[in-house]
Amino acid sequence: MVWVTGSVLRTGFLYAQAPLPATALRVVSPNGVIRVDLAMDGRGMLTYEVNYVKDGRTVVAVPRSELGISRDDADLSRGLEYARLISERKVVDEYRMIHGKRAHCRNEAREKVFRFRNVEGKLVDIVFRAYDDGVAFRYVFPGEGVKGHGATGNGEDSCLITGERTSFAIPEGTERWIQQYTSAYEGLYPLRTSGKGDGEDQREWGFPVLYKVKDKQVWVLVTEADVTRANCASRLCNREDGEVYRVMMPEKEVAAALPWRSAWRVVMVGSLSDVVESTLVADVSEPSKEDKTDWIRPGAVAWVYWAYNHGSKDYRKVVEYVDLAKRMRWPYVLIDWEWDRMSNGGTIEDAVGYARSKGIRPLMWYNSRDSASSRAGLDPYGRLQTHTARCREFEWLNRIGVYGVKVDFFEDDRQKEMAYYTDILEDAAKYHLMVDFHGATIPHGWERTYPNLMTMEAVYGAEWYAYAPTLTKSGASHNATLPFTRNVIGPMDYTPVTFSNAAFPHTTTYAHELALSVVFESGLQHFADRPEAFNALPAEVQRFLMTVPVAWDDTRLVDGFPGKRVVIARRRGRGWYIGGLNGEDHAQKLELRFGFLGDGEYELQLIADGGTDKGFAMKKLTVRKGSHISVDCLPRGGFAATLKPRG
């Protein structure tokens, strides 16, 4: 038998714990495939390891990595001893999502809560859950702090969180897709095989992180979830050791009223389809705070900004996009920045009124900052920064008939910004307003807790065609990477489906662009091109864009590899929509297997690459569950398809 031992120094003496069997600090998933083992060394430092059982073999998904957290009045990252098992249970939770990968979700795991104490008797509980598709863990402070201490200053027991020792070991040579940290999370996820950044001192990385266990078909995605106003968001840093990615706070301290709990550290593990289809970020997040949600309606949006930067201050231009939404049967139009300076035939109230007269629901853009702190100086700003200001503005939006807000230019990942996001969501819900966060942090499961959160940017999206040549060079591979990285963790406002060119041209095909409407998931899907570009499309392509849903009953990864190719099938009702992307600069066949179908025959309507990058090839086929077809794709090409049961 293997024993886990620990020792701590107490008042000058070495205190040795009684040995524990290894299974005492082990959590196993309900299906037995995933196992997490904790261990403690002679210095009282705590570590964990995640293993995955595949085809009868045990694969180390997360090599031995460190645990621990520090606060201003206690170091709970070393000198620990195991106190006891607080609780053990099976988590079973079923819930529904208004939008996302699937409508009906099942949150099932085995959970253990372990208690540890340091030499001063301060306590920390570590909650570990083992799921069939991953592991989640968080820190909990049950004990007392100092009355009125720290930033709370309200007489509660409190402390200041000063850092974590939590790490994720990724050995050298491991293939990984990881973004260098920026506060807006707008960067690429290039394939790397080492912990080096693009510069010698660029060793900070944003969530999520995807990697493939070396020489194994086991994939791991690391992120965080359930960040609340009691936390900051975090990032990873491997500056000390290239193979050790340690959790890093964006500020020196975070105020914590006790009892307190950290965000969940989330590790998805399994096949690539297990990762892509996982709802683990939402699973561990708090349930919905809204009882009545019939006013929350996902949908497609006509968006003026991509083609016309200043279009929203032009009443006539906004009218064009309202008319586009009407023709394309899209329920929403977004009126972007400068609407407070609207002219050329009408005001913002006139534009909202015109949209409503056509049966189109208007959404409106806001800068989250005031004029002094706005990074870009875009207006309107200074209208949302206090509860009083928000309520005044939201009441006005209700009065004129606006259905949602896009809020842009958040500062960073500090605790005060997490509180600001939450305040906006809570106040918007009171006025039945849906929310889109731009220039923002990544999803943390908030779309489950606050279902009026429809989407978030945090992505290097299509608007960058106006700013830099990056997507011209690498747009196809980037698009074929996002379904395995950024879009895994929550809705993504990429603003897809742009056929014409902005300042920098596309090199993706029209069929590739069409496929993005299915491949990318977002509760509000902003279709961003010019009206004349949509009007010039073949009738079959227009009909596809008129009917493609944005909220799904199920999602399946059919085939793919990050940056090279992806085929995703999404179900709405009895029908399926499929999107396929060729991420490479040479032609390739994308394989379409129909193992996800039920019994019976289905009619497949395929829209693939034609003879040129602007052409389409249409085909109708009858397929069954065992069918298999190959779709020829041009370089940087793709396809879109629908599947409907016959009879």
- Is the CB of residue 34 less than 8 Å from the CB of residue 52? yes
Structure tokens at 467: 């700013």
Question: Which of 283, 316, 341 is the last residue in one of the domains?
Answer: 283
Nearest to 482 by CA among 439, 509, 510, 521: 521
Helix (H/G/I), strand (E/B), else coil: 531: helix
Q: pLDDT, tens digit, for every residue of 471-530? A: 999 999 999 999 999 999 999 999 999 999 999 999 999 999 999 999 999 999 999 999
Return the SS3 of 355.
helix
pLDDT of residue 22: 65
pLDDT at 454 over 90: yes
Q: Residue 17: pLDDT above 60?
A: no
Which CATH number is 100's domain given?
2.70.98.10
What values do phi and psi take at 590, rounded to 5? -100, 130
pLDDT at 12: 36
Specify whether the CB–CB gap between 430 and 449 falls below 8 A.
Answer: no
Picking from 259, 283, 307, the residue at the C-terminal end of a domain is: 283
319: how many CB neighbours lie within 10 A of its CB? 19
- Flag whether 357 is in a domain: no
For residue 359, being part of any structural domain is answered with no
List the domain range (segments joined by +) for residue 47: 3-283
Task: Note the pLDDT of residue 18.
Answer: 54
Contacts of 552 by beta carbon, 8 Å cutoff, 6+ apart: 99, 100, 101, 102, 103, 521, 570, 571, 572
Boundary (domain end) residue, out of 262, 283, 304: 283
Q: What is the largest CA-CA distance in the chain?
A: 83
Q: Cα(463)–Cα(306) distance, rounded to whole angstroms?
A: 6
**Hey, CA dihedral for 327, 332, 336, 340, is it positive or negative?**
positive
For 203-262, the pLDDT digits (tens) are 999 999 999 999 889 999 999 999 999 999 999 999 999 999 999 999 999 999 999 999
The DSSP annotation for 482-520 comes to: GGGTGGGGS---------S--SS---S-HHHHHHHHHHS
What are the phi and psi torsion angles at 466 (to 5°)?
-90, -15
| 618: helix, strand or coil | strand
* Cα dihedral 97, 418, 490, 328 sign: positive
Q: What is the pLDDT of residues 581-619, one digit of tens each?
A: 999 999 999 999 999 999 999 999 999 999 999 999 999
Q: For residue 241, which of 148, 171, 312 has the smallest C-alpha distance? A: 171
Check whether 455 has a pLDDT greater than 60: yes
| CATH code, 646 | 3.20.20.70
- Strands 404-408 and 361-367, by their bridges, are parallel
| Residue closest to 69 by CA, chosen among 268, 239, 253, 233 | 253
- pLDDT: which is higher, 318 or 4: 318
Q: pLDDT grade, residue 56 (50/70/90)?
A: confident
What lies within 8 Å, CB to CB, of 501 at 6+ separation is 465
Residue 57 belongs to a domain: yes
Would you say residue 208 lies in a domain? yes
pLDDT value for 410: 96
Interatomic CA distance for residues 496 and 187, integer angstroms:
16
Tally of domains in the chain: 2
70 falls within a domain:
yes
Cβ contacts of 442 within 8 Å, gap of 6 or more = 185, 206, 207, 208, 223, 233, 456, 458, 486, 489, 490
pLDDT higher than threshold 70 for residue 122: yes
pLDDT on residue 516: 98
Q: Count the Cβ atoms, other than its own, within 10 Å of residue 426.
A: 15
Asked if the structure places residue 556 within a domain, the reply is yes
pLDDT value at residue 156: 61
Q: Identify whether 363 is part of a domain.
A: no
* Rg of the chain (C-alpha set): 25
Cβ atoms of 66 and 165 closer than 8 Å = yes
Among 112, 124, 38, smallest CA distance to 79 is for 124
Tell me: pLDDT of 104 over 80.
yes
Q: Where do we find the tokens 């085939």?
A: 559
Does some domain include residue 110? yes
Quick one: average pLDDT of 376-400? 94
Catalytic residues: 408, 463
Q: What values do phi and psi take at 140, rounded to 5? A: -135, 130
Cα–Cα dist 110/23, whole Å: 14
CB atoms within 10 A of CB 197: 18
Top pLDDT among 56 and 564 is at 564
Q: Taking residues 528-557, what's their average pLDDT? A: 98
